[in-house]
Amino acid sequence: MKVRFSSRKEQDPSREGGLKVLYAPSKRVAFRLRWYLILLLVASPFLWFVGKMAMSILLIEAPGRVVQPMLEVRALEAGKVGDILVEPEDPVNDGHLLVRLVNASLQEQKAQLEASVTVPETSGEQLVMRQINNLRQRLARARARVRDLEALVRDGAATTGELNAARDTRDEREQELAQLQRSFLEPIAWRSARAKDLGQLKVVEQRLAQLSVRAPEAGRIKEVAVAEGENVGPGTLLLKLARQQEPRIYVYLAPSRIELASEGQSLQLKFPDDQWYDGRISGPPKDVERLPPDLRSPFGVAELGLLVEVTMDSPIPPQWRINNVPLTARFPNIFERWSSLR
């Protein structure tokens, strides 16, 4: 038996018996790409973690927003909302009438006090004098009755009981007259009561004036929180007024980055139109607050941030002078800070 270690098939595998055989292409590349894809999927969490760490070192960003200073207008007295004289986005001046409240109890109290203090002092004295004269006439009749009964008792025409009853009536009239004369001779108490009513009337008028709610300063109405016919109490929010002040920019910096929350720290601000502007922190952190829901990360539930105020090197663009406009603040990373110190 003769064994060949070389053959034409080995030299030209695509030919068989002098004919060319069309083989299918090799599948090794497809298998290799599939395994690379599986490896990439398995390693993707690790790669994401590494990328996140690298980005946190190279890019230090924090959410922020533009805040228009607001003034809350609240009710000073209880009452029912009568008229709402403004609408959202209406400009108002200082002292502009915004809302009228109605309080029937205060109106009734004012009417009663006005009735008690409108009687002039001279009319009150004349009234007391008429009462005194009336009592003097009744006392004279009572005394005459007693004298007549005394004479009848002596003649046996009247009883002692009738005489005693007449004497009691006389004593009562004398006592009433004495009390009325003392009140007339001592008008201080009456005048003091009148002065007290006048003081209460002024207080009631002041409270009624507070039912007309006016703008404490010039601005623009941003929100009307009540409706006509609604009952409100003292301290109830009625309106929100946007003040005529420069909008402020606040950034929520992660507490772990507190070394960046120093006054004068430079940063960049990106507005929704992807334009970047230079700025710097204007002061130390004001507070630690929870991020608003629209500024939280997808997996953040109750994230906390250092609230720092930022001042731009240039004015805020006019189109972004709107309350709650979101923005992104980018701080220099450790390499940039290190190079700036050299």
CATH class of the structural domain 70-101+211-243: mainly beta
Q: What is the dihedral of CA 23, 28, 30, 31, to 10 degrees?
A: 140
pLDDT at 184: 63
Is 109 in a helix, a strand, or coil? helix
Lowest-confidence pick of 130-139, 186-195, 273-282: 186-195
- Whether residue 295 contacts residue 61, with contact meaning beta carbons closer than 8 Å, is answered with no
Neighbours of 26 (CB within 10 A): 8
Cβ-in-10-Å burial (0-12, 13-18, 19+) of 121 comes to exposed
Nearest C-alpha neighbor of 76 from the set 199, 238, 202:
238
pLDDT over 80 (residue 165): yes
pLDDT, one tens digit per residue, over 285-303 is 888 888 888 777 765 556 7
Average pLDDT over residues 27-51: 76
- What whole-number distance in Å separates Cα of residue 329 and Cα of residue 271? 9
pLDDT at 278: 93
- What whole-number distance in Å separates Cα of residue 209 and Cα of residue 186? 36
Cβ-in-10-Å burial (0-12, 13-18, 19+) of 238 comes to buried
pLDDT at 27: 57
Q: pTM to 2 decimals?
A: 0.56
pLDDT at 190: 59
Is 268 in a helix, a strand, or coil? strand
Sign of the torsion angle spanned by Cα atoms 222, 226, 229, 234: negative
Neighbours of 49 (CB within 10 A): 10
DSSP 200-215: HHHHHHHHHHTTEEE-
Average pLDDT over residues 201-213: 91
Position 247, amino acid: P
Average pLDDT over residues 311-320: 91
pLDDT at 91: 92
Task: Name, in order, each residue with C-beta under 8 angstroms of 232's C-beta and a sequence gap of 6 or more.
Answer: 75, 78, 79, 80, 81, 101, 226, 238
pLDDT at 210: 92
Q: Phi, psi at residue 249, to the nearest 5°?
A: -115, 125
Classify each residue of 97-112 as buried b or exposed e, where b means 16 or more C-beta atoms within 10 Å of its C-beta: ebbbbebeebeebbee
pLDDT over 90 (residue 33): no
Coarse DSSP helix, strand, coil percentages of the chain, rounded to the nearest 5 percent: 45, 25, 30
pLDDT at 81: 93
Lowest-confidence pick of 47-61, 87-101, 133-147, 312-326: 47-61
pLDDT at 259: 87
- What whole-number distance in Å separates Cα of residue 243 and Cα of residue 172? 72
Can you read off the two tokens belonging to residue 18?
């002098």
pLDDT, one tens digit per residue, over 220-232 is 999 999 999 999 9
pLDDT, one tens digit per residue, over 53-80 is 666 566 788 899 999 899 999 999 999 9
Higher-confidence position of 328 and 114: 328
Nearest C-alpha neighbor of 265 from the set 279, 255, 252, 277:
279
Residue 123's pLDDT band, with cuts at 50, 70 and 90, is low
Nearest C-alpha neighbor of 109 from the set 193, 210, 202:
202
Residue 24's pLDDT band, with cuts at 50, 70 and 90, is low
User: Residue with structure tokens 């601000």?
Assistant: 269
